[in-house]
Structure 1
């Protein structure tokens, strides 16, 4: 059954992606939508099995690994201030509006704060693919988006741990913070000294594709360590990619990992997002879904854009950055599952938020396409500055 599902996903995702591009949209939009068609909601050809989830997880890890490989570290350093501003502003506005909406619909203070935190999460895995297709991943905007995503992820997880300690969850806040600090300290040290050494030692081995194997080992271990310490696995794989991008093996690893990833794993990831969609009971909660979707999209868009604008980006470029932060993706789904498990979300609210997360993910690629088509190019910015 799995083999058949993989064949269906690969055929459908490639065709849907091509149609999406022909219609003037990023290919990832077609891949997301075809997942809904293939899933239980429409055709039922693909089901959300555990093994499909695992393959999908590998897909998103590899996608963020590639993003790390293609990161310009000098540009990343230059945009640190902008990334921090975008990350923080992109949390404050969704948190405030989400809390307000929670209170308005009758949630308790703790539940409303949890809702705000869930809407504050962001996942740029979808945005990464769109940035690649638009040729913007290595731009100043791309570096800002990637940095902001890391900051957003860490701050939301820390805030969630703080909230859970008050909500009666079995959470040691000091240990949570310590784990995060330990993660970044250790992976930075490993990236600086150990990663180049490992690649250098693997390169002369008399086996096929030794360097690529070493790179994937590093990627998966960093992702595992990130997840183990409470940081998203995608952050670990992204940092692994950045570490390898600073070595002489960057080009070889990038080329071959892209081949592996885009042939199988990444299409499964994009399509599986649509497959997981459950629309049962949607009509009964349609008003709430619309309200929370509008809050989720507008708050992240405006919050991220404001954070970029106050650090020197033109408004059009700022809006493009804000648009890239809109998708909540798998990060919000994980937080929603935590809320359901700890009785901070009812089953009905959980179902509503799954649809909201899906909608934010679907609207992100066309929004990015539109806003980036309006952005001021670097040379134009320079001319205006010197005028």
Structure 2
């Protein structure tokens, strides 16, 4: 029963921390992570990451990734396909290459360096959306390009993470004969994703309407989510990756809104805050001063690789100077996507526990900086043209 007290403490603390973080203009997720840092081994050591807390955290990752898939706007991506893809691709290449090579200079292995680059290739669109809404800049060409590019580079990031987990699993087995089987399983999984999006999910969601159960479409969506997470785990991927594509599949049906408004409260009421708190619970400040040069350099690069890389992508699509800055600034925030990637990779042993806290701290610092840069970019681009919704 002591777990109930721990659960109550974490929910009270994450709720209050999220509230005050939001009041201070800081993403609520930062406050929730800091709760884990404060209550965990890093400072007070009141809460440990035991089996039950870890289980709730794992469910939180799956639910959060499922919601992320549900809210992926593929229609918007199609509308601004060319600029979004170019911005996304360059915005992935810059951090993967620059931050990966820089990590190698800090004596990380090549595999760990590549994974650090993949972590910082992600973009947290939710934080940028909040700032864009505040300044009435969401329904603009720049805003739509940011949203489309964020969807694209999250998908690219998920695929890169899948490949790295597969590579790690193969190297961990100590055999080279399984490479073909692993690749075949990966191809089969993504073929299954296509079939799910195109035919299976729409059929199952329509079938759920005929079931004499309360909230049957939501139950069916959760079944699809858990099934995809299980299948992804079976083929050596993270369950969170399967949950993401399950969300994408359900989002293409007529039940997207109904499922979203049903699942989101459940996730954010308990499981998702515990996931972010668990990120902080994994942190320690052992060796902080020794790692300070790495943290400082990577924080600067975390901002610049997206700002410059995505800004360059916007310029290649004919955007003006202020619009380049705005698109680049809108892609800086890493937030939950980078945290999820780091957590999944840490669990899959892609990154040593000795460096996990340093990487998480860099993500937090970059995420805190991002809204301030975006606000400055919006102020420098006052003549934003609202997109034509009929286009």
TM range (shorter): 0.7 to 0.9
Match status 1:206 vs 2:176: no
- Give the root-mean-square deviation of aligned CA atoms: 3.5
How far does the alpha carbon of each residue in 1:347-371 deviate from its partner, in whole angstroms, 9 at most, with x for none?
A: 6xx41x2122211331243233223
Aligned to 1:372: 374
TM-score relative to the length of structure 2: 0.80
Unpaired segments ≥5 residues, structure 1: none
Paired residues, number: 371
Match status 1:320 vs 2:322: no
Matches within 5 A, 1:147-166: 147-155=152-160, 157-158=162-163
Match status 1:175 vs 2:181: yes
**Mapped partners of 2:26, 2:197: distance in 1:** 36
Aligned to 2:263: 257
Please report how far the alpha carbon of residue 255 of structure 1 lies from its aligned counterpart in structure 2 after TM superposition.
Answer: 1.1
SS, match of residue 258 in structure 1: helix
Please report how far the alpha carbon of residue 127 of structure 1 lies from its aligned counterpart in structure 2 after TM superposition.
Answer: 2.0
TM-score relative to the length of structure 1: 0.81
**Mapped partners of 1:305, 1:224: distance in 2:** 38
**Mapped partners of 1:282, 1:317: distance in 2:** 33
Q: Does the C-alpha gap of structure 1 residues 339 and 299 become closer, same or farther in structure 2, counting only changes over 3 Å?
A: farther
**Mapped partners of 1:208, 1:147: distance in 2:** 35
Matches within 5 A, 1:332-351: 332-336=342-346, 350-351=353-354
Please report how far the alpha carbon of residue 256 of structure 1 lies from its aligned counterpart in structure 2 after TM superposition.
Answer: 1.0
Q: Does the C-alpha gap of structure 1 residues 40 and 163 become closer, same or farther in structure 2, counting only changes over 3 Å?
A: closer
Matches within 5 A, 1:356-371: 356-371=358-373
Q: Does the C-alpha gap of structure 1 residues 170 and 334 become closer, same or farther in structure 2, counting only changes over 3 Å?
A: farther
Q: Does the C-alpha gap of structure 1 residues 17 and 275 become closer, same or farther in structure 2, counting only changes over 3 Å?
A: same
**Mapped partners of 1:106, 1:252: distance in 2:** 49
Greater shift, 15-24 or 196-205, is seen at 196-205
How far does the alpha carbon of each residue in 1:215-238 deviate from its partner, in whole angstroms, 9 at most, with x for none?
A: 111112122223333444333222
**Mapped partners of 2:121, 2:267: distance in 1:** 17
Contact kept? 2:83, 2:317, Cα under 8 Å = yes
Match status 1:130 vs 2:127: yes
Matches within 5 A, 1:1-387: 1-82=2-83, 84-98=85-99, 100-101=101-102, 104-105=105-106, 111=109, 113-122=110-119, 127-131=124-128, 133-134=130-131, 135=133, 139-155=144-160, 157-158=162-163, 169-171=174-176, 172-296=178-302, 298-299=304-305, 301-311=307-317, 314-325=323-334, 328-336=338-346, 350-351=353-354, 353-373=355-375, 374-375=377-378, 380-381=384-385
Please report how far the alpha carbon of residue 55 of structure 1 lies from its aligned counterpart in structure 2 after TM superposition.
Answer: 1.2
Contact kept? 2:93, 2:121, Cα under 8 Å = no
**Mapped partners of 1:41, 1:187: distance in 2:** 40
Contact kept? 1:10, 1:264, Cα under 8 Å = yes
Please report how far the alpha carbon of residue 97 of structure 1 lies from its aligned counterpart in structure 2 after TM superposition.
Answer: 3.6
**Mapped partners of 2:10, 2:314: distance in 1:** 37
Unpaired segments ≥5 residues, structure 2: none
How far does the alpha carbon of each residue in 1:2-52 deviate from its partner, in whole angstroms, 9 at most, with x for none?
A: 211111111111111111111122222211212211112122222111321
Q: Does the C-alpha gap of structure 1 residues 63 and 338 become closer, same or farther in structure 2, counting only changes over 3 Å?
A: closer
SS, match of residue 268 in structure 1: helix
**Mapped partners of 1:140, 1:240: distance in 2:** 24
SS, match of residue 380 in structure 1: coil
Please report how far the alpha carbon of residue 323 of structure 1 lies from its aligned counterpart in structure 2 after TM superposition.
Answer: 0.8
How far does the alpha carbon of each residue in 1:58-88 deviate from its partner, in whole angstroms, 9 at most, with x for none?
A: 2122122222222322112234545544554
**Mapped partners of 2:210, 2:309: distance in 1:** 49
**Mapped partners of 2:20, 2:160: distance in 1:** 38
Contact kept? 2:122, 2:154, Cα under 8 Å = no
Contact kept? 1:84, 1:147, Cα under 8 Å = yes
